[in-house]
Structures are given as C-alpha cells and as structure tokens.
A and B are shown apart, each in its own frame.
Chain A
Amino acid sequence: MTEIETSAAPASETNIKPPNASPVEVVSRRPSTGTPFTRILGIATLVSMALLVLFGLFLSPEDIVQGESVRILYIHVGTVWVAYVAFGLTALSSLAFLWKRTTSLTWDRIAGASAEVGVLFMALTLFAGAIWGRLSWGKFWVWDARVTTTAFLFITYIGYLAVRGLGGSHQQRGRRSAVVALLAVLEIPLVHFSVKLWRGLHQDGSVSDTTKVKLHDLMLFSLFISLIAFTLLFVWLVIHRQRVLAMQDAMDDKGLDYALEQRRSEAGL
C-alpha cells in the first residue's frame, strides 16, 4: 500500500544532517552519553573487574573437588546473574511501557537496551558454562533444565531484538516488542518446566548436584566480587545504550522535521 517507493527513508544519521547543523558546530564536541555519574560508575566497574581478575585467577584457592576449573565460575555466575536480571528488566520495562499511566518511549528503550546487553551476557555465560562443563564433566553441554532454558532465552531474545528492528514508528516498535517480551515471560517458565520434567524421567547428573561445593571464604568473596563487577558493568552498558537509543530516536525525529520541510516544498506553498 505504500504510495512512495522512490523516497529512500533518511533513517540514519549518516545520510542526513539536521538543517541547523553548521560545520562550525560540528567541530566543537558536544556532550555525549557520558555524565559524571557514569564516569564514576565506569571507573568502579574497571576497578572491580581488576579485583575480579586478581581474586579469581590468583588469590582464591583451587577447589577440592573441581580443582582450578572453579575459577570459571567467577565469570559464569556473574554473567548468568546479569543475563537474568537483564531479561527481568526488559519484561518490567515492557510492562511499564504498555501500562497507560506510565507509558513512555524511555521504557521501551530501556527494555531494548537491557535485552541487547542481556543477549551478550547470555552468550558469555553459555560460553563460560560450556568450558566449565568440559573441565568438570568432560563435555561442553549437558541437558540440564537451567542450561537449556538459558539457551532458549538466548534465542528468544535474539528474536526479540529482530522484532525491534522491523521498522515502523517508534510507538509501533514499542508496542510490538513489548508484547513479544511479555510473551517470552510466558514461554520461558514453560520451557524450563518442560525440560526439567523431561530430564527428571531419566536423569543423570545435573548442575545443581555438582555445584554443591564447599566454599572457601576467599572463593565466596571472589563470587561476591564477580556479582558486583558484572552488575556494575551491566548498569553502565544499559545507561549508555539507552542514551544512544534516545539519540537515535531523536535523530529520526530530526530527520522527520527535515523531511517534512522538503515534503512541503514539493507543494510550492
């Protein structure tokens, strides 16, 4: 039904300059996504990451049962925690977007930013988990309910990001992706439950049995650092991504103003 086929939509900032941007202004650097708060946050993230490496790789002892492979858990636990927090945040922001009294595109962008960061952490956690599995059980993958659910979440949210990229107005993107995010909330417990039931009928070892390690104090402390470090990293990434998305949306609106002017001039009024 589209009436205009020849008009390439000026979607990104690369092919369109806002009408009021003179060359002089472009030279002077304008404030970007960073603020004093995020800079402090960034430094805190870096410091805690350094601590994580220090404690995780050097100071903490090896586990009696698992040996050195326990060090992978300091990555794995932090990333998996963040991944699930990220998808929780996506679901909550989607709900906030759909609820009439709180609806705002900011919620939609937080949901999108959180899902994107979540997908990265999900990939990292699957990688770390597979390596840990290889060292502990001799195989990269076990059909454990949690592992499998995580893999499904990963694919589901890649699909969610694809839905976000479908185009249309910002409102349409928000509504569509929020509904998809909430449907995922329906789906994931079902997947988890069904995989659990599936393994339950002819079960061998699962993660929950083998992770019952006796934790040394330093190991506990390393895990704690891991949670802190990855949570800080997550917050930093989401804040920045949210701001980038906000600017992208603003850019689209700017492009609209510009395109409107052009469109009006067609009329010669």
Chain B
Amino acid sequence: MFRVARLIAAKDLRIEVRSRVVTNQVLPFATIVMVMFAFALKTDEVVEKVAPGLVWLATLFSLLILVQRAFAVETADGATEAMRAAGVDPAGIFLGKALALAAQLAVLELLLLILAVVLYSAKLHAGGIVLLVTTLLAATCGLALVGTLYGGLAAGVRGRETLLPLLLLPVVAPVLIGATRATEAALGTSGAVVSDGWPWLGLLGVFVALFSVGGTLAFGPLIEE
C-alpha cells in the first residue's frame, strides 16, 4: 500500500514539475482571489481582522481546482481504468494522490500566507510560529485527504465539475473553522493569544485521523464500478 502510494505521489509531483499547472495557473488564481477579497471588504481594519479567514477561503477555492486537476490527469487517457485493470491497491492510490495534493497545497498556503503579510498586513511573530506551522500541516493533510476522497468519487462521472464542490465544501467546513481560528491565534489577530489556538489544532487532528482511516477504507468502493 505505501509502496504504491509513494509511486503515485512521485508520479503526480513529477507531472506537476513538468506541466507547472499549479505554479503557472493556480497560484496566480489564488493571488487574484486575495486581491478581490480586499476590494470586497474595502477598509484596511476589516481586512486585517479577517485575514486568516481569507487565506483559508482562498485555499479552499484553490483546493477545488487542484482536485479537479489531480483527477483530470488520471482520466484524460484512461489511466484510472488502467489502474483498476492493473489491480493497483485503491488505498495506495488514495494515499498517494492525497500526499501529492498535500505537497501542492502546502506550497500554495505558504504563498497565501506571504500574500496575507504583504497585502493584509498580517503579522507573524515568533511565539506563534510553532502553532502556525502545525496548523498548516494538519489543515493541509485534512484538505488533501477529503479532497482526494471526493475527487475520486466525482472523477469518473458526468457533471463532476458541479458535483465536487457540492460534496466537498460541506465536509471541509470544520477545517475552515479550525484552521482559521488557529491561524488567528498564531498571528495574534484582533488580540487573540497563542494558547487559544491549541484546541482548534486538536479539532484538525481529529479530522485528519478520521478521514485518513475513513478515506483509506472508502476510496476503493467509491471508485469501483
């Protein structure tokens, strides 16, 4: 299972290195979303206050695109079916694709965070850095896991573009809430203190644990004909 996962993750990342879809298209998209948020919110104080939430909202929108892309690669020339025909362990496919997606998401989140510092004058400080990094990691894993799970379900079907957001967004709500609050605590947005953030990190941890197990079990039946 883990051997297959490694293979598939390596393959996905190599495809990304070659095609540069994330760097050339998704990152600019996320950037413009961040700018648009500022337009919608007008005043600097409001933008500063909600900066962590905007970072994670932009992440969610980008997640939808990344997931679509991750599975478009597979369905373009019948690779999904070839994998099924080759009896590749579905749990391995799931973990591998989730791993590659997580790597791409992590890069994206880093960029969005820098953008938040630049555009929204969010302030990083040393005391919150541990919380910030662990939050990024946990939220990334959570998003990648559920994204892969529902992306795989939607991949083979008609109307996948519309089905995926409908299925995916309600599920990632806890990640949005948890990650936003933890990030607020880490950045000290509107007077939040670092210790406020840890319960939220716990929530993210539970989410990751549940969906890594649930997803590994569920992915096979979901993609099977």
Contacts and interface: CB of A to CB of B under 8 A. Distances in A.
Per the CB under 8 Å rule, do A and B touch in the complex? yes
Interface of A: 1, 98, 152, 155-156, 158-159, 162-163, 166-169, 172, 175-176, 179-180, 182-183, 186-187, 190-191, 193-195, 197-198, 201
Given A159-B163, A183-B149, 17 more contacts: A98-B221, A155-B166, A163-B153, A167-B157, A168-B225, A169-B225, A172-B225, A175-B221, A176-B222, A180-B167, A187-B170, A190-B203, A190-B210, A191-B174, A194-B173, A194-B177, A198-B177
Interface string B166-189: 110011011001100100000000
B170 A179 contact: no
B56 interface: no
Interface of B: 78, 81, 149, 153, 157-158, 163, 166-167, 170-171, 173-174, 177-178, 181, 196, 199-200, 203, 206-207, 210-211, 214, 218, 221-222, 224-225
The majority secondary structure among interface residues of chain A is helix
B206 to A, nearest CB: 7
B166 A162 contact: yes
The majority secondary structure among interface residues of chain B is helix
Contact of A194 (B163, B178, B222): B178
B225 A158 contact: no
B221 A152 contact: no
Contacts of B196: 201
Contacts of B214: 182-183, 186
Contacts, number: 76
A159 B149 CA distance: 14
A195 B178 CA distance: 9
B153 A180 contact: yes
A167 B224 CA distance: 13
Contacts of A162: 163, 166-167
5 contacts: A98-B221, A155-B170, A186-B211, A187-B170, A194-B177
The 7 closest A-B CB pairs, nearest first, are: A194-B174, A190-B174, A159-B167, A194-B177, A159-B166, A179-B218, A155-B170
A194 B78 CA distance: 39
A1 B78 CA distance: 8
B203 A194 contact: yes
Contact of B166 (A158, A182, A183): A158
Contact of B224 (A152, A175, A183): A175
B120 to A, nearest CB: 21
Contacts of B173: 152, 191, 194
Residue in A1, A167, A186 with the greatest tally of chain B CB atoms within 10 Å: A186
A156 B78 CA distance: 30
A201 B178 CA distance: 12
Contacts of A193: 174, 203
Contacts of A186: 210-211, 214
B162 to A, nearest CB: 9
B199 A197 contact: yes
B208 to A, nearest CB: 11
B210 A197 contact: no
B21 to A, nearest CB: 25
